[in-house]
Amino acid sequence: MNYLEKRILEDGIVKPGNVLKVDSFLNHQIDPIVMEEVVNEFLEYFGDRKITKVITIEASGIAPAIMLAAKLKVPMLFAKKTEPSTLKNNERYETNVHSYTKNLTSKVIISKEYIEEDDSVLIIDDFLANGQAVMGLVDLVRQAGAEVAGVGICIEKSFQPGHQLIKDSGIDLYSICRIASLENEEVTFLKENN
Amino acid sequence: MNYLEKRILEDGIVKPGNVLKVDSFLNHQIDPIVMEEVVNEFLEYFGDRKITKVITIEASGIAPAIMLAAKLKVPMLFAKKTEPSTLKNNERYETNVHSYTKNLTSKVIISKEYIEEDDSVLIIDDFLANGQAVMGLVDLVRQAGAEVAGVGICIEKSFQPGHQLIKDSGIDLYSICRIASLENEEVTFLKENN
């Protein structure tokens, strides 16, 4: 059992509707010790491949993404859910991301300036459930003609379709914690990790 | 001239309407080297005082805040602009933040769980202009009965009212870069730093 799995059992709270509340250490209050452990896990898995940039989506992916980028000594880019006044239509790539939780489709954008064809981009996010946010990031990277080096996730709800969706598109996915079930308000991890 | 000032002169772009575009290294793409230099500046200024928590507001404050929190070995908390499904009305502090750029007032929230009366909270943000976001964070910290240990800003537009607003409320403010003017598409820094 890795550090993040231990913290989920200690401090995570399961709420009705398959919701796992980890806002005491991962996505509202953020414990830097959790970040350091998460970054080490990603480095172990992805550390030997060519990565020229780390990308995530605002807001809760930013903390693990910047700390990993600092270790890899590459820039980090976060996709924005709002349209910055400094970025014109023809200066950006955009894609639509549907949130099943909020039942809402939002436009997500990045500036064309910051991904080039020869980039090899690692996608990082805190949660993977339906995979819509990650597939949106994949779309943005591919619009730029760049390569997806892989996808790194802190917590995956393996009983939802995101994992298969990403694997089916031929992308290497590594999730630090894979949750098999949240039934009966109990967290059960998958036995095999990846 | 500090590192961030040098990068602003090298890579910042002044746009009409006193807009300084620094999204190649600070608030869209983020250069970890800039983050490390910024964190060192904050540590030099705030390092010897009691800080139990770092707080910021999503999204572009998160990167400097988590990297500083990691050095200080304290948790980081980011205020949210949307209402998480896992947080009921009576479980959160909320405040209104007005954005003059977007001409929009938004509710910003934190969970009551993560600030206690005996906390001494350092507020971090990437930009200071009118000071509305920082004063919103000050309000949230004070609703919790906690102390504001100080405010650390990466780039301050010193010709806008935020600096004075914060100083007038008796809070110690340290801005790494203080911009006197963006007129004629040129960045001029204040001679005295703080």
- The span from the CA of A23 to the CA of A105, in Å, is 24
Is residue B30 within 8 Å of residue B129, measured between CB atoms?
no
- The span from the CA of B35 to the CA of B26, in Å, is 8
- End-to-end CA separation in angstroms for chain A: 13
Contact A32 B66 (CB under 8 A): yes
> Does the pLDDT at position A92 exceed 80?
yes
DSSP A168: H
What integer is the mean pLDDT of B18-31?
Answer: 96
Collect all residues with Cβ–Cβ distance below 8 Å to B125 and sequence separation of at least 6: B56, B57, B60, B61, B133, B134, B137, B151, B152, B153, B154
Instruction: Say yes or no: B144 contacts chain A, CB-CB below 8 A.
Output: no
Pair type for strands B53-57 and B120-128: parallel
**Residues B59-117: tens digit of each pLDDT:** 999 999 999 999 999 999 999 998 777 788 899 999 999 988 888 999 999 999 999 99
| Tokens 């995530």 found at | A56
**Residues A30-68: tens digit of each pLDDT:** 999 999 999 999 999 999 999 999 999 999 999 999 999
Q: In what helix (H) or strand (E) does residue B161 lie, and over which residues does it extend?
A: none
pLDDT band at A87 (very low <50, low <70, confident <90, very high): confident
pLDDT at B95: 97
pLDDT at A192: 65
Contact A70 B110 (CB under 8 A): no
Nearest to B77 among A29, A35, A114 (CB): A29
CB atoms within 10 A of CB A178: 20
Distances (CA, A) of A142 to A72, A123, A178, B176: 22, 12, 26, 37
- The span from the CA of B26 to the CA of B5, in Å, is 12
pLDDT at B100: 86
Distances (CA, A) of B84 to A27, A126, A183, B95, B191: 11, 15, 21, 15, 43
Contact A35 B62 (CB under 8 A): no
Distances (CA, A) of B103 to B97, B113, B114, B116, B128: 11, 31, 30, 33, 16
> Does the pLDDT at position A193 exceed 60?
no
Taking phi first (over 0 means left), then psi (-120 to 50 degrees means alpha), and beta for anything else, what does residue B103 get?
left
- End-to-end CA separation in angstroms for chain B: 13
Model pTM? Answer: 0.97
Helix (H, G, I), strand (E, B) or coil at B77: strand
| Tokens 């301050």 found at | B156
Nearest to A6 by CA among A25, A19, A32: A25
Instruction: Say yes or no: A23 contacts chain B, CB-CB below 8 A.
Output: yes
- The span from the CA of A86 to the CA of A92, in Å, is 11
Contact A75 B29 (CB under 8 A): yes
Nearest to B28 among A24, A32, A78 (CB): A78
Q: What is the ipTM of this complex?
A: 0.96
Backbone φ and ψ for B127, nearest 5 degrees, come out as: -125, 145
State CA A102 to chain mean position distance. Answer: 18
pLDDT band at A144 (very low <50, low <70, confident <90, very high): very high
